[in-house]
Amino acid sequence: MMNRLLAVWHARNLEFVRDRGTLLFTLVVPIALVVGMSIVFGGPERPLFKVGVLSTRVAQESHPFLHERYVDFVPVTDRADAIRKVGRHQLDLLLDPKDGAHYWVNTDSPKGYIVEKLLLSADHGAVREPVTGTAVRYVDWLFPGVLGMNMMFSCLFGVGYVVLRYRKSGFLKRLHATPLTPFEFLSAQVLSRLSLVMVVTLILYCGVAPIIHFHTAGSLLLLFLIAVMGALSLIALGLTIAARFSSDELVGGVLNLMTWPMMLLSGIWYSLEGSPHWVRLLAQIFPLTHILNAARAVAIDGAGIYQVAPDLAYLGLTALAFLVIGAWSFRWRLD
Amino acid sequence: MSEPILEVRALMKSYATVTAVDGVSFTVNGGMCFGLLGPNGAGKTTTIEIMEGILSATSGEVRYRGEPLGRRSREDSGILFQKTALQDFLTVRQSLTLFRHLYARGHSVDALIQLCALEKLQNRDTRKLSGGQQQRLLLAIALANDPAVLFLDEPTTGLDPQARRNFWELVQSIKASRKTIILTTHYMEEAELLCDEIAIMDRGRIIAQGGPRQLLREHFAEVLLELPKQEFPASARALPLRLFEAGDRIEITTDDLDGTLRTLMDAHVPLTNLRIRPPNLEDLFLELTGKELRA
C-alpha cells in the first residue's frame, strides 16, 4: 500500500512542479496577500479622530490645533462635500484654518463633541458652524459592499470554472464544430450569468434590506443599473481569465489574484479615505471599486445618474474591453 | 459515384517531437463512405480533425467542393468526435434542441429523435444514457444540420457488440440517403460492412487504399489457415510457407490449400484445431505492417 501511495504522491508532485503556471501562482498569491494586507493594515497606529482641513498643504499651516496628537488631519478641497461628510459622521470635524478660523461640527456626533473640545483648547476664538445630519450606520455602508462582494465571487468564479469545465470535458470542442463563434459563446455565457447574478442579488436585497432597515436615498432603478453594469464587467473579466487556460489550479490562482486585491482595496469593509494616495489610485482599476462607489453614492447620498455616470462608463468600457480580449484569446480545446 | 466532395492534398501535421500525419493525400467522392483505418496513434483522428476544420495542418490542404475549408464546409458538416461530453443536467431533447439551434437549417428535433431511435430516451438526463444510447444521441447531434458530409471518428469504440450492430444499422440508413460519410475505425468488420473505399494508415502515412474487396484481392491468396500457437512445433516454423504470428495464433496464407495441408501433415503439425477462412482487413493490416491492428 505504501508503495502505491508513494508512487501516486511522486507522480502528483511531478505534475504540480511541471505545471509552471500553477506553481507560479501558488507562490505569488500568498506573497501578494501578505504584501497587500501589510500595506492596508500596516503603518503607524491609527488616530482616534478624523478632521478635515480646508487646505492642500496641511503640514505648512500654522494653526495650533494642527499640532494635536492622535488626530488624523485630512486635506480637503471641496468645502460642500466635506460639510456633507461631517453631517454623516464620516468626518468628526472640518476646520478652515485661515485667519479667523472656522470649524464645522455635527452637534449629534459624540466624537465631534470631544474633538471640538480639543480644538477650542488650542484656539478659543475659532468660529463654530453647527451641522446637523444623521450618521451613516456602518451596516448601511457595508450592505452594498457585501452585495458587491457576492456578485464578484459569483461572476468571476462561476463563469471562470464553468468555461474551464466545458473545455476540459470536450464540450467546447463539440461547440467549435458548429458555426458558433467565440464572441457568441462568450456573450451567451455573460447573459446567462448576468440573469443569475441579478436574480440572486435582487433576492438578497429584498430579503435583507427590510431586516436591517436599509433605505435607498436615490433611485432603485439606478441602483439596479449599477448592479447590471458591474456584473457585466466582472463576468467579462472572469471570461477573459478562463478564455485560454486549461488547468483548474491555474485558473483558481488567477481568480484568487483578482479577487483578493478587490476584497482588500475596493472598499467592501472600510473606506479607503485616509489611505495612501497610490492605494486609492490603484483601487480605481478594479470594477468593484466603481460598483461600490456608485452604489453607495446612490443609496446613501441619493446621487443621480449624472453623478455616477463616470463609474457607469468605466464599468461599461471594461465589460466591452474584457469581452473583446476574451473573444480574441479564446481557445475551444485543450492543448 | 459523383464528383469529389473532399480533396486532401499532401497533408502534414507535426508536433514538437512527433509527425502525426505525414503527407497524406486522397479524394472522397460525394455519397460514398470513406474509411480511415489504422491502430491507435496511426494519425486517423488528426487527419479527420483537419478535414473537419477543427485542427490546422502544418502543411498541405483540404478542399471542400473545390474550395478551402471555411464557413460553407462547417455549415455542411456533421461531426461525431471520438470523445464528446455534453452539457450537464440537460435531457436528450434539450441537448438536441441546443445543437439544432446552432445551425440555420436542418432536421427538426422530432425528426432527429425518430431518425436515431431516441423516442423512449428523449426526456432522460444525458448523463444517465448507456454507451450505445450516448452514441445514438451524438449521431443525432451530428445530423442536426442535415449535413452533406458526416464525420464519424471511431463511433463504436467501447460499445458492446449489440450496441455496435445497432449503430451500424443507423449508419447504413444514413448512407442510403446518399450522404458522404468519413469514418475512422480500428474495427475491420465495421469498415468492411460500411465503407465503399478505405485508406489504411500507419505512423501517419497511408499504406494502402482502395475498395475493401479490391485490397484483399490485391494482397491475398484465396485462403487463410489458422492454428493455435502453442500446438505449432518450433521446427515447423522453418517450413516454406507464408507464416505470421497473430497473438495466440499462427496464420498461413496460401493459394494451394492441398499442398499446404500436405506440408503441414508431413511436418507432424497437429491439425485438430485448424481453421480455414477467407482473409479480412485485419489480415491485410498484419500483412502490410507485420503487426496486429489492435495491438
Domain end marker among B199, B216, B233? B216
Residues B11 and B72 in one domain: yes
CB contact under 8 A, A173 and B79: no
pTM for the predicted model, two decimal places: 0.71
Residue-wise pLDDT tens digits, A38-90 = 565 555 666 678 898 888 777 777 788 888 888 888 888 888 888 888 887 78
Residue located via cell numbers 467546447: A172
Q: What mean pLDDT do residues A194-199 have?
A: 86
The verdict on B178 and B87 lying in the same domain is yes
Contact between B186 and B40 (Cβ < 8 Å) = yes
Q: Domains in chain B: how many in total? A: 2
Closest-CA distance of chain A to residue B173, Å: 23
Res A46: pLDDT: 64
Residue A35 has pLDDT above 80, yes or no: no
Same domain, B186 and B250: no
Inter-chain CB pairs, A–B, below 8 Å: 40
Alpha-carbon gap: B72 to the closest alpha carbon of chain A (Å): 9
Inter-chain residue contact B74 with A178, CB threshold 8 Å: yes
Average pLDDT value over all residues in chain A: 82
SS3 state at A95: strand
pLDDT (average), residues A266-292: 84
pLDDT over 90 (residue A306): yes
A169 shares contact with chain B (CB less than 8 Å)? yes
Does B167 share its domain with B207? yes
Contact A171 B77 (CB under 8 A): no
**Whether B87 and B231 share a structural domain:** no
Helices (runs of H) and strands (runs of E) counted in chain A: 13, 5
Give the pLDDT band (50/70/90) at residue A318: very high
In a domain, B285, yes or no: no
CATH at B261: 3.30.70.980
B135 within domain boundaries: no
Residue at B21 is within a domain? yes
Write the pLDDT tens digit of every residue in A227-244: 999 999 999 999 888 887
Could A174 and B81 be called an inter-chain contact, meaning their C-beta atoms sit closer than 8 Å? yes
Measured CA to CA, the distance from residue A334 to residue B21 in angstroms comes to 19
In a domain, B184, yes or no: yes
CA dihedral sign of residues B103, B106, B108, B111: negative
Confidence of residue A186 (pLDDT cuts 50, 70, 90): confident
pLDDT of the residue at B277: 78
User: Are B266 and B176 contained in the same domain?
Assistant: no
In a domain, B227, yes or no: yes
**CATH number of the domain enclosing B36:** 3.40.50.300
State the pLDDT at residue B35: 93
Q: How confident is the model at residue A9 (pLDDT cuts 50, 70, 90)?
A: low
Whole-angstrom Cα distance, residue B96 to residue A9?
Answer: 42
Closest partner CB to A178 (pick from B81, B86, B99) = B99
**What is the C-alpha separation between B171 and A63, in angstroms, rounded?**
93
Q: For B102, which of A169, A170, A180 is closest by C-beta distance?
A: A180
Single-letter amino acid code for the residue at B39: P
Q: Is A188 on the interface with B (CB under 8 A)?
A: no
B86 and B184 in a common domain: yes
The rounded distance, in Å, linking the Cα atoms of A238 and A160 is 5
Whether residues A179 and B71 touch (CB distance < 8 A) is answered with yes
Whether the CB of A180 is below 8 Å from some CB of chain B: the reply is yes
pLDDT at residue B295, as a whole number: 47
- Closest chain B residue to A162 measured between Cα atoms? B87
The segments of chain B whose pLDDT lies below 50 read: 1, 295
Do B162 and B210 have their domain in common? yes
Averaged pLDDT, A295-304: 89
Mean pLDDT value across residues A2-13: 56
* 3 state SS for chain B: CCCEEEEEEEEEEECCCCEEEEEEEEEEECCCEEEEECCCCCCHHHHHHHHHCCCCCCEEEEEECCEECCHHHHHHEEEECCCCCCCCCCEHHHHHHHHHCCCCCCCCHHHHHHHCCCHHHCCCEHHHCCHHHHHHHHHHHHCCCCCCEEEEECCCCCCCHHHHHHHHHHHHHHHHCCCEEEEEECCHHHHHHHCCEEEEEECCEEEEEECHHHHHHHHCCCEEEEEEHHHCCHHHHHCCCEEEEECCEEEEEECCHHHHHHHHHHCCCCCCCCEEECCCHHHHHHHHHCCCCCC
Q: How many angstroms separate the CA atoms of A42 and B65, rounded?
A: 69
Same domain, B212 and B255: no
B239 φ/ψ sector (left φ>0, alpha ψ -120 to 50, else beta): beta
What is the spatial distance between Cα B245 and Cα B261, in angstroms, rounded to a whole number?
18
Interface contact flag, A177 B81, Cβ < 8 Å:
yes
Q: Which of A226, A257, A236, A225 is nearest to A321 (CA)?
A: A236
Alpha carbon A273 to its chain centroid, in Å, reads 13
Looking at the structure, tell me whether residues B208 and B167 fall in a common domain.
yes
Domain endpoint, select from B216, B235, B267: B216
Contacts of B153 in chain A (CB under 8 A): none
Residue of B nearest to A171 (CA): B85
State whether B237 and B180 are in the same domain. no
Looking at CA atoms only, how far is residue B163 from chain A in angstroms? 23
Shared domain check, B196 and B79: yes
Cβ distance A111 to A135 under 8 Å? no
Assess contact for B61 and B136: CB atoms under 8 A: no
Print the domain residue range for B47.
Answer: 4-92+145-216
The answer to the question of residue B159 being in a domain is yes
Min Cα separation A183/chain B (Å): 14
pLDDT value, residue B24: 92
Q: Looking at beta carbons, which residues of chain A come within 8 Å of B145?
A: 178
Cα–Cα dist A227/A309, whole Å: 13
Q: Are the CB atoms for B103 and B78 separated by under 8 Å?
A: no
- Which residues of B fall within a CB distance of 8 Å from A171? 84-87
Using CA coordinates, name the residue in chain A closest to B50: A177
